[in-house]
Amino acid sequence: MKFFIDGEQVKAENPEAIQKLSPVTGELLYKFPSASENEAELALDSALDAFPSWSSLTSSQRGIFLRKTYELIEKNRSELENILMRENGKIISEAKGEVDGVLDQLSYYIGFERKLNGDLVEGDTNTRKILQYRVPYGVVLALTPWNFPAAMVIRKLAPALLTGNTIVLKPSSDTPGSAEWIVDKFAKSGLPKGVLNFITGSGSAIGDYLVTSRKVSLITMTGSTVVGQHIMEKASANMAKLILELGGKAPFMVWKDANLNDALNSLMWAKYSNAGQSCVAAERLYVHGDIYDAFLNAFRNASMKIILGDPTNATMGPLINKKALSSTSKLVSEELQSGSVVSEMSKETLNNRFNNGFFCKPVLVESDEQKSSIFQEEIFAPVIPAMRVFDEEELLDKANDSKYGLASYLFTSNLGMAMRFSEKIRFGELYINMPGPESSQGYHTGFRLTGQAGEGSIHGIREYLHIKNTYIDFLRK
């Protein structure tokens, strides 16, 4: 693996610093470089030098390169699907679905060519006007996660580039391969040198150097709340603009009048898609007491059918690494010791090839301890706690009782209840009688420790644009 700096592939000073293990088998896949401060500085300088010429282009001129990149990804999409299966452990349907999402997002953002408007504002007299321009920030530092390593790269790169910013991209050390592949397609689109730069390395090794650089005007990061808080602290010295999508603890709420088949099918997606490693994953299950036993029995039966192992025929993939598997096992053990009712919902037996993979069987934890860790902390695995509720206000209170506030789910046939929750739920997204995920035209944002700002839609595009004002008296000489 090589870096991409100033329009060229660059061999790293330390090319085999980090090991990447297969989530499926636990075997070594490859080794890749960790950037030095000098290499990070070269990438930042390249982006800074490219900014004046890139930002002077029109959005339609910049969009040409996004269109060519779209064509290259679409033509070679099977390569990206295989990378996602190999380094992330995604099952084949999820790998294909992520590439679909990559293309959907690119197509969506390309549609904003020639639509990046400013405003003409009335002045204090009839001869005065205020011109409000929306202009790019400058150098964007894009820090992307491992759970959707291709889709999140495009979600950040496409709007940043279209709006005239230049970029230094550092992907997660768990999934650098998909980011490298996408950068290669941007390079082959003819993107001017320096506009997009790519380096790898752990956050602990190079992250602080990047986020504290005065050359960075905007930082967009998807990851854990702890890392997001660290970035806020370090970036505060230079007052860089921040777009942070952090933790989630989505409540999945099933009321007694819900269509239970729809609720069950949606829960299977919301909990087990990507092995529960999603910011919009169902993390807490609240079911009305009248249907609690019947619904949980149906959920157990459906979960028992999950197939683990080979990504080409499995129905759920592994966790991303050994650390994730260990922390999940520890959490389940703690719940057993606390007296919760813990059910492992699988009879799956892995063959020898996958025994050392990071697979986690589905687990249901029944508990009435709302303040317990399993109801309060993000799990990021195919494990879910469940609780009975009987009162609408109780349900709303328990759902809002979280330090996170990204996604939430409600299943009910009561329109009044749906509208009340739509107004009172303190989450950035509420899915009523449907599964996720978010759409490209939706604004992906949240409350509390979920982060700040957001991505997607025209609102997400404008996060990459700064407003500046020109006051003019057009009759004064």
- Span 164-195, pLDDT tens digits: 999 999 999 999 999 999 999 999 999 999 99
How high is the mean pLDDT of the chain?
A: 97
Length of the chain: 477
Half-sphere exposure of 276 (CA within 13 A, CB side): 27
Q: Determine the residue type at 342.
A: V
Q: d(Cα 333, Cα 329) in Å, to the nearest integer? A: 6
Share of the chain above pLDDT 70, in %: 100
Output DSSP code: residue 63: H
- Assign 375 a pLDDT band (cuts: 50, 70, 90): very high
For residues 223 and 288, state if they share a domain.
no
What per-residue confidence (pLDDT) applies to 347?
73
What per-residue confidence (pLDDT) applies to 3?
98
For residues 290 and 192, state if they share a domain.
no
Count H helices, E strands: the chain?
15, 20
| Cβ atoms of 245 and 444 closer than 8 Å | yes
Reduced DSSP (H G I as helix, E B as strand, rest coil) percent helix, strand, coil of the chain, to 5: 40, 20, 40
The per-residue pLDDT for range 214-248, each reduced to its tens digit, is: 999 999 999 999 999 999 999 999 999 999 999 99
CATH code where residue 195 lies:
3.40.605.10
What per-residue confidence (pLDDT) applies to 448?
97
The answer to whether residue 445 is domain-embedded is no
For residues 145 and 214, state if they share a domain.
yes
Give phi and psi for 398, each to the nearest 5. -65, -40
DSSP per position, 236-282: TTTT-EEEEE----EEEEE-TTS-HHHHHHHHHHHHHGGGG-STTSE
For residues 259 and 155, state if they share a domain.
no
**If DSSP states are collapsed to H, E and C, what string results for 101-162?**
HHHHHHHHHHCCCCCCCCEEEECCCCCEEEEEEEEECCEEEEEECCCCCCHHHHHHHHHHHH
For residues 195 and 301, state if they share a domain.
no
Going from the C-alpha of 101 to that of each of 59, 162, 221, the distances in angstroms are 22, 18, 19
Look up the domain containing 256 and give its range: 250-437
Domain count, the chain: 2
The answer to whether residue 444 is domain-embedded is no
Give phi and psi for 467, each to the nearest 5. -90, 130
For residues 231 and 260, state if they share a domain.
no
Going from the C-alpha of 44 to that of each of 118, 290, 326, the distances in angstroms are 28, 59, 37
* Residue predicted with more confidence, 421 or 476: 421
Q: Which spans in 431-473 are helix H?
A: 457-462
For residues 156 and 255, state if they share a domain.
no
Strand partners of residue 142: 169, 220
For residues 149 and 255, state if they share a domain.
no
What per-residue confidence (pLDDT) applies to 351?
73
For residues 237 and 270, state if they share a domain.
no
Residue found by looking up tokens 């957001």 in the block: 454
Q: d(Cα 258, Cα 47) in Å, to the nearest integer? A: 52
**Residues that are catalytic:** 245, 279
Strand partners of residue 254: 287, 411
The answer to whether residue 443 is domain-embedded is no
Q: What is the pTM of this model?
A: 0.97
For residues 463 and 409, state if they share a domain.
no
The answer to whether residue 476 is domain-embedded is no
CATH code where residue 306 lies:
3.40.309.10
The per-residue pLDDT for range 275-300, each reduced to its tens digit, is: 999 999 999 999 999 999 999 999 99
- Assign 477 a pLDDT band (cuts: 50, 70, 90): low
> Can you read off the two tokens belonging to residue 364?
């249901």
Q: d(Cα 86, Cα 278) in Å, to the nearest integer? A: 18
The answer to whether residue 12 is domain-embedded is yes
What per-residue confidence (pLDDT) applies to 257?
98
What per-residue confidence (pLDDT) applies to 194?
98
| Cβ atoms of 299 and 291 closer than 8 Å | no
For residues 200 and 293, state if they share a domain.
no
The answer to whether residue 477 is domain-embedded is no
The answer to whether residue 442 is domain-embedded is no
What per-residue confidence (pLDDT) applies to 476?
74
Give phi and psi for 476, each to the nearest 5. -90, 135
Q: Which of 139, 246, 143 is nearest to 203 (CA)?
A: 143
For residues 393 and 266, state if they share a domain.
yes
Q: d(Cα 49, Cα 233) in Å, to the nearest integer? A: 27
